[in-house]
Structure formats: structure tokens, C-alpha cells
Structure 1
Amino acid sequence: MARTTANQPPQSTDRPLYAQVATLLLDELRDGVIPPGERLPSERHLAAHFGVSRETVRQALEMLRRSGAVATDRRGSHATLPGGPVEAPQSLAFPVGARSADPCAVDRATVTWEVPPAEHAEVLGLAPHRPTLVHRYRSVAPDGRALRAAVTSFSAVALAEVAELARYRDRADGATPAQLRRAYDWMRRAGLTLHHRDAISQLGDTASVRVTRRVHDQYARPLEITDLVVTAERDALVYEFTLPAAG
């Protein structure tokens, strides 16, 4: 559902509007936009996505439930089309580059409620001088050397949609430890499909590199941006991917 405009049903048809929405949603489920077993976005989000009322979305979901394409339990509605399970996916570490190659390194992380860096605010669509949840991570060697450091800013969307993140606002004092290692799991549980874009660049003539990760959801709404700096001459940055077998 990674669209920037509503996917409105065609108007020149005799089919009820909810049936048209059900067909559009079913097409997206078959395209794998939401994997089997994954929680669907909320009725409010689906209504905005398709440009219809929440009642129309409710009727469309009921139609898909009757056909067996969607199932609903106390956690919400889920896609049930045939496909691989997604109950225990391999989660990406938060923040990007968390955990140094040095087994003796000590991780430190805190959160603050503050105005983010200007480039972060621009990417996240935040108004100038508007504060948000900012996460700072450092990996330090036993001798006090900084091995890697990351700064993450979360968008207003992430804080509105992910209850676990929103709760940190009251304790964002810059002193309380806050690793947030499960941040991406929390986002997925909130019904968000995560799209990551990582860019790696060298910092001038130094041996350090910067990794910038941008994350948005299935509606192309920004969720977070992280800047990680790694001292490459002393540490290694490893990306690990798992791809399922075909068929």
C-alpha cells in the first residue's frame, strides 16, 4: 500500500462501493503488500487509503472475512491468503549498526524529547523547532574509545501509531537507559509495513563512515531516520540478510 494518494475505487460501476473496496484490498493482499498472517492497517488508515468512509471499509472487510481472505481476532484483522508464515520474522536490529564487533564493548542508549537535527526534521516532515522523541546510542570500548554512535529521530506518525514508543515521552530525560531494541517489532505489531533505505558514505578523509537509515511505512509516511557513525579502522559494519527459497 505504498502510495502517496488515495487508491479510490472507480465511480462508473453498478457494484456497491464496499465491494469495489474489497476487490482493491484483495488485489493488494495478493500482491503481497501485506504478507499472510500480517495485521491489516486500521479502519481509519484504510478509509484514508481508499478515499472512503470507515463504514465502507468495515463492510469491505466483512465481505473479505466471508470469503476467507481475511480473519479477525482480538488483535485485529489479518490477511489469510496462502503464503509463508510471518509469525516469527528475522527482525532488524535497532538502531542500525547496534552491537559492535568488539565483544567487550558496552552499549549505552537514552531518549530525549527535543528538537531533532534540522535534516532529520525535514525528512520526517516536522515543523521547524517542533520537538520529538530522539534516541541516542553509543557503543564504547573498555578503554573508553567510542566505537560507534547513532542518533535516531522518530516522526509524529511513529509516535501516534506505536504505543510502546509514545510511552517513552514521559521518561525522555536523557538519563534513563532506553535501548529500544524491539522498536521495529513494535512498529510491525502496530500494523506498519517497514521499508528501509540505508545509505553509506565516508566522512571526509577519515576512516569513519556514516550510515543513514530512513524508514517509512506502506503509505510512504516517514517513521524514523537514524545517523550512525562507525570508526571503520577499528570496527566492522556487517549487514546480514536472509532471503526465502523460491517456491
Structure 2
Amino acid sequence: MARTTPHDPPTGDDRPLYGRIAALLLDELRAGIIPPGQRLPGERHLASRYGVSRETVRQALEVLRRSGAVATDRRGSHATLPGRPVETAGALTFPVGARPVDPYAVDRATVTWEEPPPEHARALGLAPHRPTLVHRYRSVTPDGRSLRTAVTSFSAVALAEVAELARYRDRADGTTPAQLRRAYDWMRTAGLTLHHQDAITQAGAASSVRVTRRVHDQYARPLEITDLVVNAERDTLVYEFTLPAAG
């Protein structure tokens, strides 16, 4: 999938190429595009974004490390330059429609490694019959009058970029409990900016509602798709949105 390149290395500059790439990255750090503490995209993705080699990216990162703008550990390079704070993602819960802690509802979540539903495969750009990580969530009240079921399929990009998700492949047997409530936090920590679209439609019976969430990153790459079905006579779906103050 084609990516949007936010910046091109400036021409007519006497600095070596890695110095120009370092300057572009530094601009992003100062603007808060990559907030303090957030992991930078991997070398491969930075090389593709700027149209340079991975060795050039390594040299640029070394310049930023020496200046104290980034720090590197076993998980990669992280922004350390002061910038704008990371916006809260508290309103974006995983999976969509998951309840807050409710002592009366019984929640169960598992993961499998399997071929996703055809509409999920198309939305994620997966080849036909290609398996991926599929998460299933079920919540029901003791009286059985409120039932929520959600099926989430993750893309190859999400599994490649987010180590915490990739680790579930070896235990995705469909029986082991797998609450992935921090899935969106893991994606953000991996340097992904999350954009989501939620579509609400009626699903069969008048008391049933379907919510389809699609999430992609800053490069328009699909990360996950979730289908939630709420079957409830007196249940309510609540969506919260936070808008930052102007200025």
C-alpha cells in the first residue's frame, strides 16, 4: 500500500544525507509529532518514508542520540526531546463496546490463529485463506438479558509492528483467556497514530445493534477491524469523545 511521505529530504543542502534526515526527524520531535517517551518508527519504515537506506537512517539516529534528542534501548529508539504531551486514548477502549469493570457481567475473551471472516480479510488487505490473530469477546449479564459479542481481526502490519500482539500467536488456541484491553496502548507505544471509524447499523432484530470499528495508522495502513453485536432490551452504547481546547 502506498504511503504518504510527510517530508522529503531538502535539496541544495551541503550537509550529508544522514544529517538532513536527522534534521527532519528533529523537526518532528520539536513539533510533538513524536511525543516524549514514544517509540520512533522502525528503521525500515523510516528508510521507506524518506526514500533512503537503513544505514542512512542509523546514522541519522546516531546524530540524534549524541544530541540527546532520542534514547535507544532493547525496544528501539524513543523520543526524549521535550514536546507536546501524548493525547489521552482513554476513550478508545478495546474491543469496541467492552464494558468497564462490572461485577455483575461475565466477560470472556480468547484468541485464535485462523482465517478471518472474508469481510475482515478484505478490510485488512489479507490474501484469501491467510490466517491471522482473531480475538473474540463475549459479555453477558447474569439474567442473560444483555449480551455483547465482538470479533476482532488484526492485520499483518499490526502483528509486525506491535510485539505484544505478535506474542499471542503461539498461544492462540481459542481456549486460553486473552484480555487485550491494552491493545491500543501497545499500538501507540509502538509509534503508531491511531485513526478509527465506527459505523453503527441495525442487526436483524430490533433490539440488536452492530458496531463495526476500523482502525488504521498514520500511513493509512489497516491495523484491525472489529464487529460488535449488542443484543439487549435495555442496554446502552456510550461513546465518549475528548476535544482539546483551541490554542
Specify if TM > 0.5: yes
What code does the residue aligned with 1:120 have? H
Confirm or deny: 8 A CA contact 1:8 1:52 kept in the other structure.
Answer: no
1:107 aligned residue: 107
Distance 1:10 1:162 in 2: 31
Greater CA drift, 135-144 or 123-132: 135-144
- CA distance 1:77–1:87, shift in 2 (3 Å): farther
Structure 1: state its 5+ residue gaps: none
Distance 1:66 1:12 in 2: 25
Matched residue count: 246
2:169 aligned residue: 169
Confirm or deny: 8 A CA contact 2:192 2:218 kept in the other structure.
Answer: yes
Aligned Cα root-mean-square deviation (Å): 2.8
Distance 1:235 1:245 in 2: 32
1:197 aligned residue: 197
Q: What do the CA deviations read for 1:5-58 (whole angstroms, capped 9, x no partner)?
A: 585424554332112212322333344332233111122221121111111112
Residues 1:17 and 2:17 aligned together: yes
3-state DSSP class of the match of 2:41?
coil
Residues 1:220 and 2:220 aligned together: yes
Shift of 1:125: 0.8
Confirm or deny: 8 A CA contact 1:149 1:228 kept in the other structure.
Answer: yes
1:63 aligned residue: 63
1:38 aligned residue: 38
Residues 1:122 and 2:122 aligned together: yes
Confirm or deny: 8 A CA contact 1:138 1:146 kept in the other structure.
Answer: no
Q: What do the CA deviations read for 1:98-152 (whole angstroms, capped 9, x no partner)?
A: 0179751111111111111111101111001111111111111213345211100
3-state DSSP class of the match of 2:58?
helix
Distance 1:10 1:88 in 2: 33
Shift of 1:97: 0.8
What code does the residue aligned with 1:164 have? E
Residues 1:29 and 2:29 aligned together: yes
2:50 aligned residue: 50
Normalization by structure 2: what TM-score?
0.85
Normalization by structure 1: what TM-score?
0.85
2:240 aligned residue: 240
What code does the residue aligned with 1:23 have? A
* Identity fraction in percent: 82
Distance 1:75 1:163 in 2: 9
Confirm or deny: 8 A CA contact 1:102 1:235 kept in the other structure.
Answer: no
Distance 2:58 2:96 in 1: 37
- CA distance 1:76–1:166, shift in 2 (3 Å): closer
3-state DSSP class of the match of 1:83?
coil
3-state DSSP class of the match of 1:179?
coil
Greater CA drift, 125-134 or 82-91: 82-91
Confirm or deny: 8 A CA contact 2:145 2:233 kept in the other structure.
Answer: no
Confirm or deny: 8 A CA contact 2:195 2:216 kept in the other structure.
Answer: yes
Q: What do the CA deviations read for 1:55-92 (whole angstroms, capped 9, x no partner)?
A: 11122223333444334445432223433444986373
